[in-house]
């Protein structure tokens, strides 16, 4: 059983799917859920804080058991370097501060699993994952589950093909003997 799961959320639809997935897991296997929103430096101020609180309240309504809700600021320094808002400086990106804040909270809570929504958009440089997701995956010391956004595409169960082949084989070669 997972006793503590941490879900990193922002204002995207992908975060909502990650939260819902985590609540479904907690309902099935137990454990506590903590919703975490990281405020970046350019998001400071009472309006952004109020918006984050509203987001967490709305996401909490999806759960059967109310989750813990946390709002923290992004790490302002990484190894003595300040991340720049406009772009990388000395290899340090603003997203690194968000990822490190997520990992710090996971360590403090004793989380056994981090869940984060897949951004769902490839970037111009060919990356499939967002920079924060990628950094969390690279630096985490506990399992990380990336939750994809549900789509209207039909779900293909890989076992359906195997079962169909088995049934076809049995039909062609007679009934299988019990072992």
Q: Tell me the domain boundaries of the chain.
A: 4-152
- Cα separation, 171 vs 86, in Å, equals 65
Q: What is the pLDDT of residues 43-79, one digit of tens each?
A: 777 888 898 999 899 999 999 999 999 999 997 655 4
The whole-number pLDDT of residue 113 equals 97
- Cα separation, 20 vs 34, in Å, equals 12
Query: Would strands 144-147 and 4-8 be described as parallel, antiparallel, or unpaired?
Result: unpaired
What's 36's DSSP letter? E
What proportions of the chain, in percent to the nearest 5, are helix, strand and coil? Answer: 40, 20, 40
**Residue from 11, 42, 21 nearest 119 by CA:** 11
Q: Is the four-CA dihedral 164, 170, 175, 177 of positive or negative sign?
A: negative
Domain 4-152: CATH architecture, name and number where available: 3-Layer(aba) Sandwich (3.40)
Q: What is the pLDDT of residues 141-162, one digit of tens each?
A: 999 999 987 655 554 555 555 5
State the pTM of this model.
Answer: 0.72
Q: What is the pLDDT of residues 24-44, one digit of tens each?
A: 999 999 899 999 999 987 777
């Amino acid at each position: 059983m997972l006793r503590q799961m941490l879900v990193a959320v922002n204002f995207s639809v992908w975060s909502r799917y990650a939260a819902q997935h985590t609540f479904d897991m907690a309902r099935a296997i137990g454990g506590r859920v903590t919703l975490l929103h990281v405020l970046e430096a350019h998001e400071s101020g009472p309006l952004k804080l109020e918006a984050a609180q509203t987001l967490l309240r709305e996401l909490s309504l999806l759960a059967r058991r109310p989750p813990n809700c946390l709002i923290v600021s992004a790490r302002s320094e990484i190894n003595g370097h300040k991340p720049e808002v406009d772009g990388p400086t000395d290899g340090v990106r603003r997203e690194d501060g968000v990822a490190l804040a997520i990992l710090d909270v996971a360590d403090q809570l004793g989380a056994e699993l981090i869940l984060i929504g897949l951004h769902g958009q490839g970037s111009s440089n060919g990356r499939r994952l967002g920079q924060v997701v990628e950094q969390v995956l690279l630096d985490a010391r506990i399992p990380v589950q990336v939750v994809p956004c549900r789509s209207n595409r039909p779900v293909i169960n890989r076992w359906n093909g195997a079962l169909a082949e088995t049934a076809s084989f049995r039909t062609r070669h007679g009934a299988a003997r019990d072992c």
